[in-house]
């Protein structure tokens, strides 16, 4: 009995250590993200700038105004945005994988990015904007179209299959995605002169974003992630299959709707601002499950931390490797993510 108890404590302690390491790693990467670039800003100076701007502390003399503006107006918002987007996308991916019991499922397979791309096409290619909203037209329409697509997909799937089987949802998502993508392609074929901008949007980028984006996105991401954490037990049970979850008392259809739409909203609101960024949502949850086990009370919050960290790193690579110009961050994350994912997924299969 005592030995078993000791083992439980050991497992819990190991978990605590791993969580602490992950959080520390995240902080280090964020500091690197803010510090690295054309000019190196050490952590002490970053801290001084933040205190100066947030708490009104006097700035030490050795910090130049240039450093203040580099940290405060350029790198800090950009790094935080990358972190928030990475966190939101990863949590969204973890939910999709568990709810649909498919390791390859994501908001993208269900059509969120296709819908958002269509919106981007309308705004960028045809210059159609919503009156009074101006530059906010693209994010808002991207969000509405992205979420709208997945709502249509789920509604359609539940219409043709009352039990909302996972395969029906995934197939419906793929059909809708293909259709919506075709519409976007047709539109861009007609308006080639603006095609380049659309392609850049589709590749994703964190540049040219300021604090206002964070003020909008951070609350959405935070509320969405916390709301999903609240469903951690239902997520655990749903991995055993719908029938088993249902007999254990989960109100399956309702919970499934809520989780899919919340996850899609996380993805939709993120890509609405920064464009399509793939693979982090696929990769981060798989790695987190490998390291921390499969319980969603760990998987969800740690996917957020890990995914955020990964995204900051990708953005760091994207903007420093070929500086002063930039690589599209979506391409960087896929470049790093795809082989890594192949290793995790196919490596495991080869061993079994």
The SS3 of residue 1 is: coil
State the nearest-atom distance from the C-beta of 154 to another protein, in Å: 19
Q: Is 209 left (phi over 0), alpha (psi -120 to 50) or beta?
A: beta
The nearer residue to another protein, 39 or 294, going by C-beta atoms, is 294
Q: Which residues bind another protein (CB under 8 A)?
A: 4, 7-8, 11, 101, 162, 230, 232-233, 236-237, 239-241, 243-244, 246-251, 289, 293-295, 297
Secondary structure (H, E, C), 25-76: HHHHHHHHHHHCCCCCCCHHHHHHHHHHHHCCCCCCCCCCHHHHHHHHHHHH
Smallest distance, another protein to C-beta of residue 19, A? 16
Nearer to another protein, 3 or 190 (CB): 3
Please give the full DSSP string across 116-170, using - where no structure is assigned: HHHHHHHHHHH----TTTGGGHHHHHHHHHHHHHHHHHHHHHHHH-TT--HHHHH
Closer of 76 and 250 to another protein (Cβ): 250
Least separation, in Å, of the C-beta of 248 and another protein?
A: 5
Tell me the torsion sign for CA atoms 272, 273, 278, 284: negative
**How many CB atoms within 10 Å of residue 35?**
19
Nearer to another protein, 7 or 51 (CB): 7
Q: Which is nearer to another protein, 4 or 208 (CB)?
A: 4
Of 289 and 319, CB closest to another protein = 289
> Which of 209/289 has CB closer to another protein?
289
Q: How far is the CB of 112 from another protein (least distance, A)?
A: 24
Instruction: Report, in Å, the least distance between residue 254 CB and another protein.
Output: 9
Q: How far is the CB of 296 from another protein (least distance, A)?
A: 10
Q: For another protein, give the closer residue by CB, 67 or 237.
A: 237
Q: How far is residue 169's CA from residue 110's CA, in Å, rounded to a whole number? A: 8
Shortest distance, position 91 Cβ to another protein, whole Å: 17
* Residues 235, 109 contacting (CB under 8 angstroms): no
At its nearest, how many Å lie between another protein and the CB of residue 14?
13
Burial (CB < 10 A; 0-12, 13-18, 19+), residue 216, is middle
* Sign of the alpha-carbon dihedral angle for 124, 128, 134, 139: negative
Residue 79 C-beta: closest distance to another protein, Å: 31
Beta-carbon count within 10 A of 43 CB: 14
**Interior CA angle at 293 toward 288 and 294, to 5°?**
90
Rounded (10°) angle between helices 252-274 and 211-229: 160
Q: Between 12 and 197, whose beta carbon lies closer to another protein?
A: 12
Residue 12's Cβ-side half-sphere holds a number of Cα atoms within 13 Å equal to 6
Task: Report the residue number, 242 or 281, with the smaller CB distance to another protein.
Answer: 242
Q: Which residues contact 138 (CB under 8 A, 6 or more apart)?
A: 119, 120, 123, 124, 129, 201, 272
């Amino acid at each position: 009995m005592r030995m078993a108890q000791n083992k439980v404590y050991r497992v819990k302690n190991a978990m605590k250590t791993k969580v602490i390491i992950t959080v520390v790693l995240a902080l280090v990467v964020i500091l690197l993200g803010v510090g690295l670039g054309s000019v190196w800003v050490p952590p002490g100076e970053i801290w001084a700038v933040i205190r100066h701007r947030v708490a009104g502390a006097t700035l030490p003399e050795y910090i130049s105004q240039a450093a203040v503006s580099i940290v405060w107006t350029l790198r800090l918002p950009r790094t935080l945005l990358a972190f928030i987007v990475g966190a939101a996308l990863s949590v969204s991916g973890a939910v999709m994988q568990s709810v649909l019991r498919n390791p390859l499922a994501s908001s993208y397979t269900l059509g969120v990015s296709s819908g958002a791309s269509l919106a981007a096409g309308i705004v960028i290619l045809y210059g159609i904007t919503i009156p009074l909203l101006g530059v906010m037209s693209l994010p808002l329409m991207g969000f509405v179209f992205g979420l709208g697509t997945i709502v249509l997909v789920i509604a359609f799937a539940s219409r043709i299959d009352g039990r909302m089987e996972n395969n029906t949802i995934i197939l419906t998502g793929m059909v809708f995605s293909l259709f919506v993508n075709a519409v976007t392609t047709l539109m861009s074929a007609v308006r080639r002169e603006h095609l380049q901008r659309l392609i850049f949007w589709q590749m994703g980028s964190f540049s040219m974003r300021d604090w206002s984006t964070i003020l909008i996105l951070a609350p959405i991401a935070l509320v969405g992630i916390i709301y999903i954490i609240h469903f951690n037990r239902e997520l655990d049970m749903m991995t055993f299959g719908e029938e088993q979850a249902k007999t254990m008392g989960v109100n399956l259809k309702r919970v499934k709707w809520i989780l899919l739409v919340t996850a899609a909203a996380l993805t939709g609101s993120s890509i609405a601002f920064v464009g399509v960024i793939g693979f982090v949502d696929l990769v981060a949850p798989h790695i987190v499950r490998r390291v921390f086990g499969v319980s969603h009370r760990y998987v969800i919050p740690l996917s957020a931390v890990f995914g955020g960290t990964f995204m900051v790193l990708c953005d760091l690579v994207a903007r420093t490797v070929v500086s002063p110009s930039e690589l599209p961050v979506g391409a960087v994350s896929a470049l790093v993510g795809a082989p890594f994912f192949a290793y995790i997924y196919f490596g495991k299969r080869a061993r079994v």
